[in-house]
Amino acid sequence: MIPMPNNILDVKNLRTTFYTHMGEVQAVRGISFEVDQGDVMGIVGESGSGKSVTAMSIMGLVDEPGRVSGGSIKFMGKELTTLTDAEMNEYRGKEISMIFQDPMTSLNPVFSIGNQLVEVIRRHTDLDKEQAHARAIELLRMVGIPEPEIRIKNYPHQFSGGMRQRAMIAMAISCNPKILIADEPTTALDVTIQAQILDLMVRLKKELNSSIILITHDLGVVSEVCNKVNVMYGGMLMEKASVEELFDTPQHPYTLGLLKSIPRDVTGERKRLVPIEGTPPDLLKPPSGCPFSPRCPYAMGICIREAAPLYKLSATHHASCWLHHKGAPAVEGFVQVEEESDHE
C-alpha cells in the first residue's frame, strides 16, 4: 500500500509478545491500520484484547519481558520500531503523546502540576523558564481549568479527577503532537465529566490539527466521537470500518455481538440485550484459528483451523471472517466478496 499523502501513522502487521516464565504471551498478533490527519480512530475491544498493548507498542513503552516482535510502525514515513529508547524520546510527548485511564495515579503526587507541565514543555522546546511557565498557564486555560495562575501551583491531590484528566490533556498537547493516544481516558471519571473530557479532546484536536487514537471498550463513546473504528479481539483485528459502516452494517460476528450487548437504541424501542457467551481467550495458549471461534455462533470448520484474512468489503470497510468467503453459507447481513484485503 502506497502511503497516502496525509497518512500520519501506518501500522503494519504489528506483533507484540511477552516472554514470561510461563511461556510466550502473544498480546498483539499481526494487526494493521492507518491513522490519517484529522482522524479520531477508535480501537474497541474487551480487556485483554490487546488494545492497550497496541498503544504502548506505538509509544515504544512495552517493557520487559515484552517487546515488539514483528511488523512495523511508521510515523510520517519514519520507522519507529527500530529506534532506541533515547531516539524514541524525541517523539514521545512531542509528536505522539498519550493520556491514560486513571488520572488519579497518572500524575506524580510529589510535584506540582506546574512543575510537571513546565518540565515537558522545556523538554521538547527551547522556551526558558518564564516562557514555559506562561505556556503552561495558557495550556491549563485551554483545557478549561479555572484560575490557572493559582491552580498551576497546586499538587495533583488538590485537583479533582476531572481536573486531573484535564491537566493530563494539557500536558499531552503541550507540544502540539500529531497524534494523541487516549487509553480509556474517561473510564475512571463520572459520567457527566466523561462527556466534557471527550468534547474537550475533540475540540483541541480540531484547534491543533492533530489526530486521536481513542482506546475504549465503550461503543457509545466511539459512536459519538470517532470517524474510524478498529475492533480487536484476542490480539487480532476483527473488523475495521468507518464509524457509520460499523454501526449500520457490522460485518463480523464479534462486532455484531458487541452491538447487541449494549443498550444503544436511542429510539426508545425496548430491545433485549444479548450477552456474548463465554470469556476472552487466554493469550498464553490462544485457540488455533480465529480467536473468536469458540464463542462464535457462526463458527465453521475452517475457523478453528485458520484465522480468516482481512476481506475488503469497501474502500474503508474490512473484516476478518470466513463468512465473507464466497464458499461460505450465506448469512443474513453478511456480504461475500472475491477479494481479500490488499495488505500483506
List contacts with another protein (CB under 8 A): 20, 22, 59, 61, 85-86, 88-94, 97-98, 100, 102, 105-112, 119-120, 123-124, 155, 157-158, 160, 168, 171-172, 277-282, 287, 293-296, 298-306, 322, 325, 327-329
> Across the beta sheet with 7-20, what order do the strands follow?
23-36, 7-20, 66-75, 78-79
Q: Which is nearer to another protein, 45 or 281 (CB)?
A: 281
Which helix (H) or strand (E) element contains residue 198? helix 191-208
Q: Could you tell me which of 111, 118, 119 has the C-alpha nearest to residue 134?
A: 118
Q: How far is the CB of 330 from another protein (least distance, A)?
A: 11
Q: Which residues pair with 26 in a beta bridge?
A: 17
Q: Taking the complex as a whole, how short is the minimal distance between the CB of residue 303 and another protein, in angstroms?
A: 7
Residue 312 dihedral angles phi and psi, to the nearest 5°: -90, 115
Rounded CA separation 133/136 (Å): 5
| Interatomic CA distance for residues 100 and 94, integer angstroms | 16
DSSP state, 302? G
Compare residues 252 and 295 and give the one whose CB is closer to another protein: 295
**CB-wise, 172 or 243, nearer to another protein?**
172
CB of 219 to another protein, least distance (A): 22
Smallest separation, CB 208 to another protein (Å): 16
Residue 223 Cβ vs another protein, minimum distance, rounded to whole Å = 27
Cα→Cα distances 143→163, 197, 261, Å: 9, 9, 34
Closest CB to another protein among residues 265, 282: 282
Return d(Cα 325, Cα 336) in angstroms, integer.
6
Q: Cell 488455533 maps to which residue? A: 288
DSSP letters of 111-134?
A: S-HHHHHHHHHHHHS---HHHHHH
Nearest to another protein of 229, 280 (CB atom): 280
Smallest gap from Cβ 119 to another protein, in A, equals: 7
